[in-house]
A and B are shown apart, each in its own frame.
Chain A
Amino acid sequence: MADNPNILFINTDQQTWNAVSAYGNPYVHTPYIDQLQKNGISFMKSYCTDPVCAPARASWVTGLYTSENGVPFNGGRMHDDIPDLGQILTSNGYHAIHCGKWHVEDRPMRKSFHNLYTGKRDIGACGGEYYDRVSTHAVIDFLDCYDETIPFYLQVGLVNPHDICEYLHNHEHKSIPGPVEQGILAVEDLPPLPKNFKYDEREILLQKMLHRDEETSIHAPILNGIRDWTENQWRFLSWNHYRFVEAVDQQIGLILNTLQNSRFKNNTLIIFAADHGESSGCHQAFQKFSLYEESIHVPFIVATLNDQLDVPKGVLDTEHFVSGVDLVPTVLDYAGIKVPGGVQGLSLKPLIERKSTDIDSKTKDCEKHEKKTSAENTIPWRDFVYVESNFWGRAIVTERFKYIMEYRPKQKENFFPPWTGYRLYWIGTALRYSERPMGNEKPCR
């Protein structure tokens, strides 16, 4: 067990997949996430299991979809008999540690993990500006002081860029002049409107309702406040989101610098991901909840700061669909622990090691490399990814299409998802990737 790697899982909250400068986004500067990209493999087709905090995080710690683990929305209650990642790791000789945002209600984090933050209540959904600094300090202290011989799994839940929600809450029921109108920023400082700012009128019904109808929006007061926004105000929303991303990137930098100078540098695997994305004006929507790309498509990087673990450097994997349920099997695979039956995800370790072998072979012998990349080297993998959106619909994302199926009422009494025991009524919609939002489709390295 002592030879197994330490695993550091750094996660951010509400970061869209392309809010990373290494992927070609010129409107955000993330030197430390870029450092992870340069030192690892980025899975460019990574999706959350559900574009809301608690469900996405419940999948991270169970390897199950949200309709299986009992947490399909914030406030859902995980079934008691489902083991979580902390429990599995602890019972198999790892020191499982948590720091920062948890947000899986009714699953006592302190019973599953050792908690680095000493407050009595878990860190919740806001306050990234100060909680992230506290978490970072705690992680730095841990890396400086940990002197046990057993390996650790440390998950660090950073809150930002979730503070973009607080920015929006500031607009509830009132009109705040934009920074351009106030003379604080010049128009050219703002990111452009997303290409898909104007939504398709044939978009699925519930998305239309939830984002533009105050009677049904979860955040109706925000909707009221931003209904008459100018284009510059929408652009400023995106500008703000990127500043919160940069704020959390600085915290990641402090953690990476400490790891780099610690005795754990050579035996620590780093996983970086976000729980879900942020709409930032795409389809004139804000926050998450929807099944649009900006809401469900997230960054996912596996990296090391050393050459001892078998992880390729600077690779962009644009081939394989990755899901939030893959975290549990991947962590357990690296930890040398058998994955419990029933877990839905797949371990990324074979993909990562194959990429590494491919690159190594290519460097040494081009002819051999060509042979190795033939069909015999193919690892069986999913050809689409499945995403649930609270209780109003779900989707599959394939290579060319996104298919969304809503839960739709036939009669009042059966407007419920099937797993609540009520009858399902559905509508199908396919969305084609004819137009990507801002960002390079094939990001530069």
Chain B
Amino acid sequence: MKSLAGESDYDDVLEDCREKLFRFEKKLHRRPLREGRPRDYIKKLSGQLLERWAVYDR
């Protein structure tokens, strides 16, 4: 499996897929997480990930 990110020949594919995904997500009935453990968990793990973005996202 090969990543096509950044290959200009596939710009149209990326655009098409992106549009499909956004169009689909508009139909979802997303709801905020319940207070308590779920929100606490997401904040904790988000923090861990954020610290590493600076290392990898160059």
A residues 66-86 with Cβ under 8 Å of B? 67-68, 70, 72-73, 75-77, 79
Determine the distance from Cα of A206 to Cα of B14 in the docked complex, in whole angstroms: 19
Pick from B5, B33, B51: contact of A428, CB below 8 A. Answer: B5
CB-defined contacts of B29 to chain A, threshold 8 Å: 64, 68, 342
Counting chain B residues whose Cβ lies within 8 A of the other chain, the interface size class is 35 or more
Q: Is B46 an interface residue (CB 8 A)?
A: yes
**B49→A209 contact, CB < 8 A:** yes
B28, chain A: closest CB distance, angstroms? 6
Within 8 A of A (CB), among B2-56: 2-6, 10, 13-14, 17-18, 20-21, 24-25, 28-34, 36-39, 41-42, 45-46, 48-53, 55-56
**Contact (Cβ within 8 A) B31 A431:** no
From A68, A394, A437, B31 is in contact (CB under 8 Å) with: A68
Instruction: Tell me if A27 is interfacial: C-beta within 8 Å of chain B.
Output: no
Does A420 belong to the interface (CB within 8 Å)? yes
Q: Choose among B4, B30, B37, B56 the residue with the greatest number of A CB atoms under 10 Å from its CB.
A: B30
17 more A-B residue pairs beyond the given contacts A396-B20, A428-B5, with a C-beta to C-beta distance below 8 A: A67-B30, A72-B38, A73-B38, A76-B33, A77-B34, A77-B36, A77-B38, A206-B49, A209-B56, A213-B52, A396-B24, A402-B1, A403-B14, A403-B20, A405-B18, A405-B21, A430-B5
Residues on A lying within 8 angstroms of B by beta carbon are: 64-65, 67-68, 70, 72-73, 75-77, 79, 196, 200, 202-206, 208-209, 213, 215-216, 218, 292-293, 342, 344, 384, 386, 391-392, 394, 396, 398, 401-403, 405, 408-409, 412, 415-416, 418-421, 428-435, 437
Chain B residues within CB distance 8 Å of chain A: 1-6, 10, 13-14, 17-18, 20-21, 24-25, 28-34, 36-39, 41-42, 45-46, 48-53, 55-57
